Chain A
């Protein structure tokens, strides 16, 4: 293992070492603030370390992991998302009577699992990363057991369904291994390229793997857990579920599919088309019925992953770029959205009912504007990153002629608009009590939200730099 190998693995090593270090620190002295600063430092270091080794990539550091532009880009993205979640968590957790320190260890481990997924080229690391991610999330989702009623329900639901998903995934891997005799993605790809006729078993295996991934991405019809988990988890953890957990799985899906050339199976494409259509329509339709902002965001995430699968399905030259760009836009947007929810929550009570947002604009204009920008971005209105992302997806789909899916995308976007507008309308509704309390946004979290919103608009107006970066790192 050369020093360059070592350096290229640095993001992973930093995250792993930091989580061990944190355990020692907690064993010696429980100090929320110290643990928080260490976590921020670790994630920032891992983020920086992800940006450095691009010069000598691609590098296959071990049979399990590959460090190339793609995995480094995702690593940077996931670390950045984790960093933002941690910052959001600190002020959110401070007033609560929980033991907060382990929370940060778990976040580090979740990010680590996700980064491993992004770098994996082997079923072993795929499963390892996925489990590391999931096990951390079980606990994080149920972290507020003492102060919230629904926390336990959410945690249990997530545990059972994610465990079932892992079982599907493992069984699928076993079937593929039985046929191909390989666990590495490239080995499987080679087997498939040489095989004359594909057996039923291997296709079933792929189908089972896709079902496992579908669970993790909350694609309909495997979406049942999403709304409950988003609702029951603390707001920053919901953001983590929406970003870090999905980002890693999308990354491994993209890599796996391109290495084994999964596009050659029409059955799987059909399966994905059905998932995508069901997610887009189901997510948006179910969200219409909700009055809880966190549930709405949960259902909307189902729909958004459906959009993303359209890009993924196009499989052309644009697929990876479109999916990645969409993910970046979605990350920023959903972090802002959950950031606002976390920002408005106080101690015992989360700001999750639509009522909590009524006439927010007249009480806290800054927060309301930030949230409006995020919702418009989710709806894909121009001037926001969401618009360019959706455009890129539509372009990728149009290039491959996926017109049916694109029509569903357009139709479900219109349905989606309705509930985004509902939240926006509630925020702009006139205040009933004449005393207009104007609370400024100038806190640490407020500043973070403003920066993210600026990034959101910047990506919507000048996306070229990000597109170039994605083309160079991910697609190239």
Chain B
């Protein structure tokens, strides 16, 4: 019996927390249902742009290269962080640490070579591709 008491004592914050979560979620759902305005007039679904009709979609497409470069930045940035961490403990890490850092840099190098050769680092319009496409189009026009 006593054990049960202890257990209950331990768990009550958890139960209370779960209860509060449910309460808040319930309140959000119920209140917005009760208080929310519901009408479906002619212009309800239209985009409000200060009285000016919107032109075009708001969803612009970025070149996917943009994301790629951003990711490279994050990755290489993190790697710098690792190397800095090693540099701080340089004395303590000794030779094993040095070999470890060497392997790490080596892997980075391999990755760099790989990225380079697969063309991941080429940014902007690529001259060769454009020329190729142009030649292709000319051929088609001739035919």
Question: Interface of A with B (CB < 8 Å)?
Answer: 1, 20, 23-24, 26-28, 197-200, 203-204
22 A-B residue pairs with CB within 8 Å: A20-B107, A20-B110, A23-B110, A23-B111, A23-B114, A24-B114, A26-B117, A26-B118, A27-B110, A27-B113, A27-B116, A27-B117, A27-B118, A28-B117, A197-B10, A198-B10, A199-B10, A200-B10, A200-B11, A200-B13, A200-B14, A204-B14
Q: Which 3 A-B pairs have the closest CB atoms?
A: A27-B117, A23-B114, A27-B114
Q: What 1/0 mask marks residues of chain B from 112 to 141 whose CB sits below 8 Å from any chain A CB?
A: 011011100000000000000000000000
B11 surroundings in chain A (CB, below 8 A): 200
Which residues 92-120 of B have a CB within 8 angstroms of A? 96, 107, 110-111, 113-114, 116-118
> Does B6 lie at the interface of the complex (its beta carbon under 8 Å from any beta carbon of A)?
yes
Q: How far, in angstroms, from A24 to B112 measured CA to CA in the complex?
A: 10
Residues 6-56 (chain B) with a chain A CB within 8 angstroms: 6, 10-11, 13-14
**What's the count of A-B pairs with C-beta under 8 Å?**
30
Nearest-Cβ distance from residue B110 to partner chain A, whole angstroms: 5
* B63-93 vs A, Cβ < 8 Å mask (1 yes, 0 no): 0000000000000000000000000000000
What is the bound-complex CA distance between A23 and B118, given in angstroms?
A: 10
In the bound complex, residues from chain B placing their C-beta under 8 Å from that of A1 are 96
B17 to chain A, nearest CB (A): 9
Q: How far is the CB of B71 from chain A (nearest CB, A)?
A: 13
Residue of A nearest to B107 (CB): A20
Q: Which residue of B lies closest to A197 (CB)?
A: B6
Known contacts A26-B114, A27-B118; can you find 20 more A-B pairs with CB under 8 A?
A1-B96, A20-B107, A20-B110, A23-B111, A23-B113, A23-B114, A24-B114, A26-B117, A27-B110, A27-B116, A27-B117, A28-B117, A197-B6, A197-B10, A198-B10, A199-B10, A200-B11, A200-B14, A203-B10, A204-B14
In the complex, which residue of chain A has the Cβ closest to the Cβ of B12? Answer: A200
Q: CA A200 – CA B116 in complex, angstroms? A: 52
A-side contacts of B107, CB under 8 Å: 20
CB distance from B3 to the nearest CB of A (A): 10
Q: Measured between C-beta atoms, what is the minimum distance from B10 to chain A in Å? A: 5
Q: Please state if A24 and B110 are interface contacts (CB–CB under 8 Å).
A: yes
CB neighbours (8 Å) of B117 from chain A are 26-28
| A273 and B14 alpha carbons, distance in the complex (Å) | 20
Q: How far is the CB of B122 from chain A (nearest CB, A)?
A: 14
- Per the bound structure, the CA–CA distance linking A197 and B6 in Å amounts to 9
Once bound together, how far apart are the Cα atoms of A1 and B96, in whole Å? 9
The docked-state distance in angstroms from the alpha carbon of A24 to that of B110 is 6
A28 to B114, CA, bound (A): 8
B residues in contact with A26, CB < 8 Å:
114, 117-118
Q: What chain B residues lie within 8 Å of A203 (beta carbons)?
A: 10
B138 to chain A, nearest CB (A): 26
Residue in chain B with minimal CB distance to A26? B114
- In the complex, residue of chain B having the shortest beta-carbon distance to the beta carbon of A199: B10
The residue among A1, A24, A197 with the most chain B CB atoms within 10 A of its own CB is A24
Cross-chain contact B113 with A24 (CB below 8 angstroms):
yes
